């Protein structure tokens, strides 16, 4: 049995643990938790989160700018009508209007003419026949739209990466909670064993105290682990754009298949696949193409621009007496000099193109480096898993042997406590190794530009 002094020290510890866990129980959501698998999280992150929605809208804006640029090459039609009532000062023209009369003498127009009405209704149309600069601008806008779509791919990859890492952290916290629950169960069992040994007179009271202290420590670590799991749920909801109060139940665990993706296993194949799939590189190529097309459009401004314009309508002082009038014009404009502004714009676009070349070359090197680093991390994590599993097996065996020795009365429970601490450390190491492997698989998928294929 537990001594009165030991019982008086242990009861406040249990009371504190119960009081600390009460707020967590009070905060537990009433509704059923949303069961979320890793594949579901990746799917949601690639299409239904705010950052991806904003990127999609920016793509729509870029497509609209293409249509705006194309409008310069399409017909322009308009209808118009007017009514005017006016008076006219004949002297305002600077001409003396006088004419001879048949019977002799002269007559002049009065200074004020009017008022009179004037009606006009007209249909106008213009069509560009040749404007190579506008053609190039349409192509530049199209290249910019391609870049916007590639930027959306960058956003999707980043969103998937954030969500996948948050999910893996949450299931790691879930695994830690399971480990701490197992530690607490072992600690409670050892308390019972120590009390039995103390009652049988084969172990001192300090063994019970040590076991109780280990139980309190295990319960405290369990509370910390549960808090980390709750924080992990919040991170996942935030990554998915959900209400942070949404209860989640994670369907996956830190299994060897968590975070797998369609990535080649060979280094050269992985780098080649990354160079072909990374949306950052595609976006940079699109920016360079847009800059080149813009430069071509500026150069094409030196070429003549040919436009056909016409209108047809009726006008007159009264509607019944209005007569039809028309105009048809072929307009040619040839730019000659604009203060060398065109040349400066060309120099700017050439600098933009060269800047893009530098970024592209550096980005290719960065992609290769990221793939290499991810492959190294994955290989190291897989090796660490083997070591951690063996360490966990040995720690479990050590605890089992120490417990048997304590039961047999040939050793105190200090060996059991030491072995239990070693088992806690081994469990954490094994969980961390599995977490590192899953994280490395996710990083490799991101480096290869195929994070959207994570499952």
> In this structure, is residue 308 part of a structural domain?
no
> In this structure, is residue 412 part of a structural domain?
yes
pLDDT, position 30:
54
Q: How far is CA 243 from CA 21, 32, 238, in A?
A: 24, 15, 7
d(CA 411, CA 18): 33
Q: What is the dihedral of CA 276, 277, 282, 285, to 10 degrees?
A: -10
Structure confidence by residue, pLDDT tens digits, 281-304: 999 999 999 999 999 999 998 999
Query: Helix (H, G, I), strand (E, B), or coil: what is residue 113?
Result: strand
pLDDT, position 339:
87
> In this structure, is residue 196 part of a structural domain?
yes
For residue 420, what is the domain's CATH number? 1.20.1600.10
Decide which of 328 and 100 is more confident: 328
Structure confidence by residue, pLDDT tens digits, 336-359: 888 888 899 999 999 999 999 999
pLDDT, position 173:
94
- Two tokens, residue 357: 């070349």
Query: Helix (H, G, I), strand (E, B), or coil: what is residue 153?
Result: helix
d(CA 120, CA 325): 10
> In this structure, is residue 146 part of a structural domain?
yes
Number of domains in the chain: 1
> In this structure, is residue 80 part of a structural domain?
no
Q: CA nearest 120: which of 337, 311, 358, 300?
A: 311
> In this structure, is residue 5 part of a structural domain?
no
pLDDT, position 21:
45
Confidence of residue 10 (pLDDT cuts 50, 70, 90): very low
Name the percent of the chain lying above pLDDT 70. Answer: 92
d(CA 151, CA 278): 10
> In the predicted model, is pLDDT for residue 8 greater than 70?
no
Angle (CA) 134-135-139 rounded to 5° is 110
| Residue numbers of the domain that contains 351 | 35-75+130-302+342-453
Over range 76-83, report the average pLDDT.
Answer: 93
Strand ranges inside 185-333, DSSP E: 248-250, 305-316, 323-333
> In this structure, is residue 307 part of a structural domain?
no
Q: How far is CA 363 from CA 268, 283, 355, 440, 443, in A?
A: 17, 11, 12, 21, 17
Structure confidence by residue, pLDDT tens digits, 181-210: 998 888 888 888 888 878 877 778 887 888
Structure confidence by residue, pLDDT tens digits, 91-145: 787 777 777 777 767 777 777 888 888 999 999 999 999 999 999 999 999 999 9
C-beta of residue 125 within 8 angstroms of C-beta of residue 75: yes
- Two tokens, residue 66: 């293409």
- The pTM is what? 0.80
Structure confidence by residue, pLDDT tens digits, 384-406: 999 999 999 999 898 888 888 87
pLDDT, position 194:
82
- Two tokens, residue 23: 């707020």
Q: What is the DSSP letter of 371?
A: H
Candidate from 92-96, 215-219, 230-234, 342-346 with smallest mean pLDDT: 92-96
β-pair type (248-250, 34-36): parallel
> In this structure, is residue 423 part of a structural domain?
yes
The alpha carbon of 45 is separated from its chain's Cα centroid by a whole number of angstroms, namely 8
> In the predicted model, is pLDDT for residue 74 greater than 50?
yes
């Amino acid at each position: 049995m537990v001594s009165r002094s030991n019982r008086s020290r242990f009861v406040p510890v249990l009371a504190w643990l119960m009081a600390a866990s009460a707020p967590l129980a009070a905060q537990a959501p009433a509704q059923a938790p949303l069961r979320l698998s890793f594949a579901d999280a990746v799917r949601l992150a690639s299409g239904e989160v705010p950052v991806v929605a904003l990127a999609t809208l920016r793509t729509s804006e870029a497509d609209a700018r293409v249509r705006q640029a194309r409008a310069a090459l399409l017909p322009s039609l308009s209808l118009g009508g007017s009514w005017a009532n006016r008076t006219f000062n004949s002297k305002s023209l600077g001409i003396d209007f006088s004419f001879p009369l048949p019977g002799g003498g002269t007559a002049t127009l009065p200074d004020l003419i009017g008022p009179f009405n004037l009606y006009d209704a007209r249909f106008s149309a213009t069509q560009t026949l040749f404007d190579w600069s506008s053609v190039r601008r349409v192509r530049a806008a199209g290249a910019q739209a391609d870049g916007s779509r590639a930027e959306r791919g960058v956003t999707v990859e980043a969103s998937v990466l954030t969500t996948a890492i948050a999910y893996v952290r949450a299931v790691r916290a879930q695994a830690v909670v399971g480990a701490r629950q197992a530690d607490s169960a072992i600690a409670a069992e050892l308390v019972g064993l120590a009390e039995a040994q103390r009652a049988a007179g084969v172990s001192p009271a300090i063994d019970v105290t040590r076991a109780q202290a280990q139980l309190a420590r295990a319960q405290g670590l369990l509370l910390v682990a549960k808090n980390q799991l709750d924080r992990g749920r919040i991170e996942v909801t935030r990554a998915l754009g959900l209400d942070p109060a949404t209860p989640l139940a994670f369907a996956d665990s830190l299994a060897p298949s968590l975070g797998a993706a369609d990535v080649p296993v060979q280094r050269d194949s992985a780098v080649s696949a990354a160079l072909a799939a990374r949306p950052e590189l595609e976006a940079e190529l699109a920016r360079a193409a847009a800059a080149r097309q813009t430069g071509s459009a500026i150069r094409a401004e030196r070429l003549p621009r040919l436009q056909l314009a016409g209108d047809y309508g009726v006008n007159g002082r009264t509607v019944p007496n209005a007569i039809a009038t028309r105009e048809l014009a072929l307009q040619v404009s040839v730019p000659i000099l604009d203060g060398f502004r065109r040349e400066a714009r060309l120099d700017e676009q050439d600098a933009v193109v060269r800047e893009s070349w530098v970024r592209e070359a550096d980005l290719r090197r960065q992609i290769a480096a990221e793939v290499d680093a991810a492959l190294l991390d994955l290989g190291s994590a897989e090796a660490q898993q083997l070591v951690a599993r063996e360490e966990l097996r040995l720690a479990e065996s050590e605890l089992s042997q120490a417990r048997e020795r304590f039961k047999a009365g040939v050793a105190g429970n200090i060996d059991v406590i030491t072995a239990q601490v070693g088992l806690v450390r081994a469990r954490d190491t094994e969980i961390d190794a599995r977490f590192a492997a899953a994280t490395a698989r996710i990083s490799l998928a991101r480096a290869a530009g195929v994070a959207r294929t994570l499952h």
